[in-house]
Amino acid sequence: MPRPRTFDEKEVITRAMLAFWKKGYGATSIRELEDATGISRISIYNAFRDKEGLFLAALRNYHQIAHAFLNEDFIAGGLDSIVALFESMAKRRPKDAPEHFGCLMVNSILDVHGISAEAHQIVMHCRKDLLSAFTSALRQARRDGEIDATDREIKDRAEFLVAVMWGCRTTSRLAGDALAGRGIAKTAAAMACGWRV
């Protein structure tokens, strides 16, 4: 039987995710990934096929975390859940929290075409999840009589909210501080309340 692996694949993925998050795919070299993950190049190529494979694993990991986070915060639905989501985005975080580097999905959009169709698909899928989360929250709000909107308007508003979120994270990245988007998130929350009939 084989010698067992001395590293935890899940943890390697997490660490690689952080590295890509900070510097982007192209600017993160294999040598840097060795340092970041703590395992050797050969182990990386063994476990993930190549650099792109490790990146895809990191993207999927990020997507999974985001998915879980959405499902926690959107159980209730309605306008309050949207407000809560934006408020949670404006929460203070530890100085070394990766949120200060923006959103991995957004950060990857520039290069994702040049990497692979699969990478592009993951980002699209993540966006779709966020979109449908907002959509169902808005639909719930309509069922509860909180808002009055057509399906078309709900779809537009959901896309709008995704854009606000992404713009907020982009602002955070530029400032190097997740808190830079605080006023934005606050305004977004207030605006969602403004939709109340």
Query: In the set 15, 19, 51, 141, which binds DNA (CB under 7 A)?
Result: 51
User: Site for a copy of itself (CB under 8 A): which residue of 2, 94, 145, 194?
Assistant: 194
Return d(Cα 17, Cα 80) in angstroms, integer: 31
Contact 14, 37 (CB under 8 A): no
From CA 43, how far away is CA 58, in angstroms rounded?
A: 16
Q: Report which DSSP code applies to 181.
A: G
Nearest distance in Å: CB 149, a copy of itself: 11
Least separation in angstroms between residue 75's CB and a copy of itself is: 25
Shortest approach of a copy of itself to residue 150 CB, angstroms?
Answer: 13
Q: Which partner in a copy of itself, DNA, none is near 93 (CB below 5 to 8 A by kind)? A: none
28 forms part of the interface with DNA (CB under 7 A): yes
Between CA 46 and CA 87 the distance in angstroms is: 42
Q: Which positions from 151 through 180 interact with a copy of itself, judged by CB under 8 A?
A: 155-157, 159-160, 162-168, 170-171, 173-174, 176
Can you tell me the distance from the alpha carbon of 22 to that of 16, in angstroms, rounded to the nearest whole number?
A: 10
Residues 6 or more apart whose CB falls under 8 angstroms from that of 38 comprise: 7, 12, 15
- Choosing from 8, 9, 10, 26, the residue that interacts with a copy of itself (CB under 8 A) is 26
- What are the residues binding DNA (CB under 7 A)? 1-7, 28-32, 39-43, 45-47, 50-52
